[in-house]
Structure 1
Amino acid sequence: MHTISRQLAPLSTDAAVVREAVARARTGLVDREVVAEVVALSAVAGEHVLVIGAPGTAKSEAVRRTADQLGGRYFEYLLGRFTEPSEIFGPVDLRRLREGTVEFETAGMLPEAEVAFLDEVFLGSTAVLNTLLGILNERVFRRGSTLLPCPLRVCVGAANSLPDDPALAAFADRFLARVFVTPVPDARLDELLEVGWQTGARPADPPGSLLAAVDRLSRAAGGCDLQGVRGPLATAIRQLRQAGVPLSDRRVVRSQRLVAAAAALDGRTTASADDLWVLPLIAPTLDAQASAREVLSDLLAQGRNGSLVYAAEEFARGRQAQAARLVDAGRRLLDEVGSAPLAQEDRLRLEATLREIDAGFVLAEAPPAVRDIRGLLVAAIKR
């Protein structure tokens, strides 16, 4: 019993550390919270993320903020048709070249990055993408005589749309998680305008690199007990394939990594049906993700995650996830406003959260945590 307690305490602590980092990254983001959370989920899973959306939808900003909070060596580049491999992987070492050996100087380049962001990732040349495959798949950089293990935790690729070229399909399949972003909905335009006007506002600085906590969570995810969830997972995959959702065997097998990472970020060493909300993430297109939500609606409805409240709600579309997100939002708002007299702006934020709670739940049937946070919000507004 004591051994189990000692093992669980660090896991819950690391989950809380990453949860707070993601919350800081979300600060100032409007309708892009899911991007930040899925990047963190994928870092723990050891997988990569593809973010698809039109220009001007804050894809880059969401990724940068999350990378900044996670810490570690960061590499970012905007790829183009004429991007040279040396711009991504480093130039040839001229000293070694004079000795007859082709090696590369990788300091500060992608092969030595721990978190990477490649914008317009599908515009890279064949030479760039082929070398990238080795880094994404095996975490190894191979070029000339250079053979270098890569410390990459997560690579985020971004593009305006998915490629039509079948030759890029194998490369795209290496990005297990997909997040599709659209312009901010009308209901949140006031919030967008306010945040956008505060151009200098940035998240609080992180306490330091959090990659050690990410790595411990990754190890916990690697040892996660999936036995009880493999049956429901296999059934869900069969349902998705029968509905026409194209899933390669690679994506099916590696989906378990997202399930295990979700459990670890929720502070657990055993996965459950609560963690299967991640399944729509592996559907490769926006239409396929919509089909996945519909086909698996009953299964996903029980999804939730204490660390990834926005992503769990987005993909589960269930009451548990909605409740967790509203409780988290309410607590953070109350912490921010404190006990001082309310400014008008703070009052409006509290009232907005209260309205969302009342619109989503009948008070008598709401989870206790929702009822409790509602009472605290009402008290704060009345003071």
Structure 2
Amino acid sequence: MVGAPEAHDTARRLRAISGELSERFYERADVVRTLVVALLAGQHSLVLGPPGTAKSELARELTGRVEGACYWEILLSKFTAPTRMFGPIDVAALARGEYRQVFEGRATTAHVAFIDEIFKCSTAALNETLGFLNERIYHPESGGTPIRCPLIGAITASNELPAGEDSTAIFDRLLVRIEVGYLADPSNFAALVRSAAGRPAAALRTTVDLGALQHAVATAVPAVEVTDTIVDAICTLRAALRRKELVASDRRWRQAVRLLQASAYLDERAAVAEPDLSILTHVLWSTPAQRPIVEREVLHLVNPDATEALELAETIEGIEVQLEAMAGQSREALSDWVIKEAHHQLARAGTRLQTLRAEAAGAGRSTTTIDRVSGRQRAVRARVLTEALGVDASMVQTHP
């Protein structure tokens, strides 16, 4: 890896932070890593999901790990004024006939930011918000020289996709887009309930220094090599997506390269490697319906284990759809279906997923997708056992 020993320490600290947050937030390991990579790349990210999925808590916990950084957070609404975001009017100065703003503690001085309900940005604040995210500048209310903002990256969150043209403009500026949902794995849900009922244990809290993070973003990450092999892979992926009528802008592809460099830096590698390409699954879609298509094309290129896992995911989802279609049928009919079809299909899928994970881990490939599909397999299996057979799934969920 290129850089001084301090660069290695920064990468190790960020990996430690990722590990600590992944242990605390169930089924969020890929989300955490992706947010860290986005911050290292100096890019903004969107966490998209329903209420109650720990979007805000996770963002605050991550951004709070940067020692010495000015942090800014806001919950937007259609009535949020630009001055509330970037600096209120100095009332004392106004009484003296001077018109100026107080910028301390606002977006204009922030190194890291969390913007909740980003797509509820008011029309009045739209241009200022776009300028803040794009160019890291703010034009004061009184005019004059634009203010340079020290923002490294912003994490944004929303419960829904943008609905209007104004919010679509903001959506386009968020390079990384991550979907989150409610916990799928029954064992993780049980662990969540237990953690809520007990006294939380003292958790490790690794931090990273602001200066070290800024050096990584400005110097160390851009120094990571992007080989011709990776360039060819990106071109191949672009062509594959175009054949499916999924077209990303040249700007988005260009910015994505820095994400690949940041991913390699986080793993202390001097050059981007094929596994780094997997982060593009969070970059190249515009609607949730497009995400599985992008994921399949990316993983087909870099991770054959994950590609097969996605095929198994279709089988698992099909079983859940069939279970819902059988609602209202007799317990006997449901039991017959489970014994003859569902149980064997889910068991085979679980066994194969375990094999794929072992093979991927042994080869040093990412197991993120396989783990996610395994969680769905356990969730669907638990639902089948409970709804169709009346069995307490928590007693048998350790088996495939």
Match of 2:122 in 1: 125
Matched residue of 2:65: which SS? helix
* Matched-pair contact (CA < 8 Å) for 2:70–2:111: yes
Match of 1:262 in 2: 263
**Are 1:298 and 2:297 an aligned pair?**
no
Q: Residues 280 and 316 (structure 1 numbering): CA distance in 2 closer, same or farther, change over 3 Å?
A: farther
**Are 1:170 and 2:172 an aligned pair?**
no
Match of 1:222 in 2: 222
Return the offset for 1:356: 9.9
* Matched-pair contact (CA < 8 Å) for 2:221–2:262: yes
Matched residue of 1:204: which SS? coil
Where do 1:1-383 residues align within 5 Å? 7=3, 9-71=5-67, 72-94=69-91, 97=94, 102-144=99-141, 145=143, 147-187=146-186, 188-198=188-198, 200=200, 203-207=203-207, 209-218=208-217, 219-228=219-228, 229-282=230-283, 283-301=285-303, 359-360=354-355, 367=362
Percent of aligned pairs with the same amino acid: 28
Q: Residues 204 and 177 (structure 1 numbering): CA distance in 2 closer, same or farther, change over 3 Å?
A: same
Q: Residues 358 and 129 (structure 1 numbering): CA distance in 2 closer, same or farther, change over 3 Å?
A: closer
- Of the structure 1 ranges 242-251 and 12-21, higher mean CA displacement relative to structure 2 is found in 242-251
1:91-139 deviation per Cα after TM superposition (whole angstroms, max 9, x unaligned):
1234555676643211011111111111111111112221111111111
Q: Residues 173 and 199 (structure 1 numbering): CA distance in 2 closer, same or farther, change over 3 Å?
A: farther
Return the offset for 1:246: 3.8
1:248-305 deviation per Cα after TM superposition (whole angstroms, max 9, x unaligned):
22211111111111111111232122211111111233222210111233213179xx
Q: Residues 39 and 316 (structure 1 numbering): CA distance in 2 closer, same or farther, change over 3 Å?
A: farther
The letter of the residue matching 2:37 is L
Matched residue of 2:245: which SS? coil
Please give the alpha-carbon distance, in whole angstroms, between the structure 2 residues aligned to 1:300 and 1:278.
11
Please give the alpha-carbon distance, in whole angstroms, between the structure 1 residues aligned to 2:147 and 2:57.
30
Matched residue of 1:75: which SS? strand
How many residues were matched structurally? 319
Matched residue of 2:72: which SS? strand
1:346-375 deviation per Cα after TM superposition (whole angstroms, max 9, x unaligned):
xxxxxxxxx9999235979972889xxxxx
Return the offset for 1:28: 1.9
Q: Residues 225 and 74 (structure 1 numbering): CA distance in 2 closer, same or farther, change over 3 Å?
A: same
- Of the structure 1 ranges 183-192 and 256-265, higher mean CA displacement relative to structure 2 is found in 183-192
Q: Residues 133 and 358 (structure 1 numbering): CA distance in 2 closer, same or farther, change over 3 Å?
A: closer
Please give the alpha-carbon distance, in whole angstroms, between the structure 1 residues aligned to 2:22 and 2:8.
21
TM-score by length of 2: 0.71
* Matched-pair contact (CA < 8 Å) for 1:297–1:316: no
The letter of the residue matching 1:233 is I
Return the offset for 1:184: 0.4
Matched residue of 1:55: which SS? coil
- Rg (Cα) greater in structure: 2
Please give the alpha-carbon distance, in whole angstroms, between the structure 2 residues aligned to 1:67 and 1:17.
14
Q: Residues 78 and 215 (structure 1 numbering): CA distance in 2 closer, same or farther, change over 3 Å?
A: same
The letter of the residue matching 2:52 is G
Query: Could you list the runs of 5+ residues in structure 2 that have no partner in the other structure?
Result: 311-349, 366-400
Q: Residues 365 and 59 (structure 1 numbering): CA distance in 2 closer, same or farther, change over 3 Å?
A: closer
The letter of the residue matching 1:294 is R
The letter of the residue matching 1:152 is L
Q: Residues 248 and 99 (structure 1 numbering): CA distance in 2 closer, same or farther, change over 3 Å?
A: farther
TM-score by length of 1: 0.74
Q: Residues 249 and 316 (structure 1 numbering): CA distance in 2 closer, same or farther, change over 3 Å?
A: farther
Match of 2:386 in 1: none
Return the offset for 1:140: 1.3
* Matched-pair contact (CA < 8 Å) for 2:45–2:154: yes
Return the offset for 1:82: 1.5
The letter of the residue matching 1:116 is A
Please give the alpha-carbon distance, in whole angstroms, between the structure 2 residues aligned to 1:233 and 1:260.
13
* Matched-pair contact (CA < 8 Å) for 2:126–2:166: no
Please give the alpha-carbon distance, in whole angstroms, between the structure 2 residues aligned to 1:284 and 1:128.
23
Matched residue of 1:240: which SS? helix
Matched residue of 1:161: which SS? coil
Please give the alpha-carbon distance, in whole angstroms, between the structure 1 residues aligned to 2:43 and 2:360.
39
* Matched-pair contact (CA < 8 Å) for 2:77–2:117: yes
Return the offset for 1:182: 0.8
Matched residue of 2:173: which SS? coil
Return the offset for 1:56: 0.7
